[in-house]
Amino acid sequence: MKVFSFPRGGLTYDDPAVPSRNSSVIAFLPALSVIPLVQHSDESVTSLVSIGDTVTEGMLIGKAKNQNSVHIHAAVPGKIIDNIEWNDPDGRHNKGLVIRMQGAFERLGRKENNFLNDGMNRQELQQILTDCGIVEMEGSGRPVADILLALKNEKKTQTLVVRCVFDDPWLAADYVLCKERLKEVVEWSFIIAKVGGKIGRVIFAISHREKSLGETMLAEAGQYDIPSTLVLTGSKYPQRNRRELELVLRDYEKKEGYDFGHLLVLGPATLAAVHDAAKYHRPILERYVAVGGSAVRNPQVMRVRIGKRLADIFDECGGFINTPCRIAVGSPLSGKTVTNLNEPVTKTSYAVFAMLKSQAGNFPKRDCISCGECRSVCPVGLDPEELYKQITILHSKCGSMDQCHGCGCCEVVCPSCLPLSDVIAGKISEGAASAGGTRA
Ligand code: SF4
Ligand code: SF4
């Protein structure tokens, strides 16, 4: 079976400090949870509870203000004991409610009612997803109801793409979820295709190293009457990125004579969340998280309640072998550094890691030696060296910077340890870059 890869740049990334992908463990329920109230769009929700109030498991505690935000629910039962605010290292402002766990769980360990009916239409599914606050469990966490609504106005044919491209070993949690919830992931790709409107095909886009997983998904898909296709992609990073994925799918489409039309791309964790909402009216109470890094004693893939603090998660993994030099949420390639371990797991936290200095390669930056490595790995064909100099020396910007999607490839390979992608993608200011800084 032919493997479709994006045409230029990228890199092969392996990391021995990621947890095993064999199975997940259920994390302890957190005594204290911090439920974030700020959304992907930087919009905060209207809090419906106050300090001293009692909340139940899955209770609506924050109301979305508009279509770009989603409702927030309590992941555990308990009492609201505080209302806190904090800033991310990149300056983003956050607010959250602190819940001290107490009382009975209404869902955990109980048989939940099955609300599924065969006649469900798109509007009903959208309403359930809105009520349950379902978002994409990756990237910026867009509301799924909003994504479905956009399909309504789409004139072209549509194709649903189930993205199981594991180009980064830190996607271990998604891989484990895919194996453990495979039937639900496949089933819900077809239910969304059926109620979504004009979706004529489901594609399972699977990195070629996971070919057998793709074949199992395709076999499971055989029972549904919407056609499905397995497309094997390369495993080079950033193959999973929307731009690079679309490039290979369009290449496949042309070579095989298909007309995919508009592509709706959803990941396995999102499909599993849609299943839970539509079937049980269950909001997102937990997510699969890969916990690892060279500083962590026992790396593992865990099923963690939303709001559990990073400090408690690392403790549960045996604590640190030695003082970490970097702690972050996401992958080392593009993750967000964390300085406060009271920060919680959110709906989009697919991995958290703590690195020792030996893993981080945290060396001081030096002058550019014009080696050209950054150009050779940029999948977009940009010249990161030139763009970085324009920003930091000439203090100017040019149009091609907008094409940077922040994959981090250039920064990883730079022997001078320059924070290329952070500066080009605008994550840190030119002043901060000029003043110094280190990369992971
Ligand atoms: S990889 Fe780093 S040192 Fe090499 S050309 Fe690019 S910016 Fe300069
Ligand atoms: S971060 Fe931007 S400039 Fe760097 S390799 Fe990726 S797309 Fe190219």
161 DSSP β-pair partners:
203, 265
pLDDT, average across residues 182-203 = 90
Is-contact 182 220, C-beta < 8 A? yes
Comparing 437 with 381, the larger pLDDT belongs to 381
* pLDDT, position 264: 93
* pLDDT, position 39: 67
* pLDDT, position 89: 63
* pLDDT, position 111: 76
- CB of residue 371 inside a 6 A radius of ligand 1: yes
**Closest ligand by atom to 379 CA:** 2
Token pair of 218, please?
């395709």
* pLDDT, position 21: 95
Q: Whose CA is nearest to atom 2 of ligand 2?
A: 404
Band (pLDDT 50/70/90 cuts) for residue 270 is very high
pLDDT, average across residues 311-315 = 97
**Closest ligand by atom to 384 CA:** 2
Atom of ligand 1 nearest to the CA of 385: 7
Q: Whose CA is nearest to atom 6 of ligand 2?
A: 407
At which residue do the structure tokens 């408690």 appear?
A: 312
**Closest ligand by atom to 406 CA:** 2
Band (pLDDT 50/70/90 cuts) for residue 434 is very low
Atom of ligand 1 nearest to the CA of 416: 3
Rounded distance between C-alpha atoms, residue 402 and residue 384, angstroms: 12
Q: Whose CA is nearest to atom 8 of ligand 2?
A: 378
pLDDT at position 435 over 50: no
Q: Whose CA is nearest to atom 3 of ligand 1?
A: 368
* Cα 413 to ligand 2 centre (Å): 11
- Going 148 to 150 to 152 to 156, the CA torsion angle's sign is negative
Is-contact 98 229, C-beta < 8 A? no
**Closest ligand by atom to 414 CA:** 1
99 DSSP assignment: E
* Percentage of the chain exceeding pLDDT 70: 94
Token pair of 306, please?
């939303």
pLDDT, average across residues 164-184 = 96
- 315-345 pLDDT tens trace: 999 999 999 999 999 988 888 889 889 999 9
pLDDT at position 214 over 90: yes
Residue type at position 341: L
- CB of residue 368 inside a 6 A radius of ligand 1: yes
Atom of ligand 2 nearest to the CA of 238: 6
What backbone phi and psi angles, to 5 degrees, belong to 376?
Answer: -70, -25
Token pair of 135, please?
């978002």
The 3-state DSSP class for residue 355 equals strand
Identify the residues whose C-beta falls under 6 Å from ligand 2: 377-378, 380, 382, 384, 404-410, 420-421, 424-425
Q: Whose CA is nearest to atom 2 of ligand 1?
A: 414
- 34-67 pLDDT tens trace: 998 876 666 778 899 999 999 999 999 999 987 7
* pLDDT, position 363: 67
**Number of CB atoms found within 10 A of residue 357's CB:** 15
* pLDDT, position 402: 86
**Closest ligand by atom to 416 CA:** 1
Mean pLDDT of the chain: 89
- 345-358 pLDDT tens trace: 999 999 999 999 88
**Closest ligand by atom to 387 CA:** 2
- CB of residue 369 inside a 6 A radius of ligand 1: yes
* Cα 374 to ligand 2 centre (Å): 8
Q: Whose CA is nearest to atom 7 of ligand 2?
A: 404
* pLDDT, position 370: 94
Choice from 243, 244, 387, 404 to test ligand 2 binding pocket (greatest atom count within 8 A of CB)? 404
Nearest to 126 by CA among 145, 153, 143: 145
- 152-170 pLDDT tens trace: 777 778 999 999 999 999 9
Atom of ligand 1 nearest to the CA of 388: 7
Is-contact 133 73, C-beta < 8 A? yes
Q: Whose CA is nearest to atom 5 of ligand 2?
A: 378
Rounded distance between C-alpha atoms, residue 377 and residue 333, angstroms: 13
100 DSSP β-pair partners:
32, 79
Comparing 123 with 38, the larger pLDDT belongs to 123
Rounded distance between C-alpha atoms, residue 305 and residue 347, angstroms: 9
* Cα 60 to ligand 1 centre (Å): 49
Atom of ligand 2 nearest to the CA of 407: 6
Is-contact 142 135, C-beta < 8 A? yes
pTM above 0.75, yes or no: yes
* Cα 168 to ligand 1 centre (Å): 23
* pLDDT, position 273: 96
pLDDT, average across residues 227-235 = 96
DSSP letters along 59-84, please?
-EEEE-SSTTS--EE-SS-EEEEEEE
Choice from 11, 365, 367, 371 to test ligand 1 binding pocket (greatest atom count within 8 A of CB)? 371
pLDDT at position 429 over 70: no
* Cα 407 to ligand 2 centre (Å): 6
* pLDDT, position 42: 64
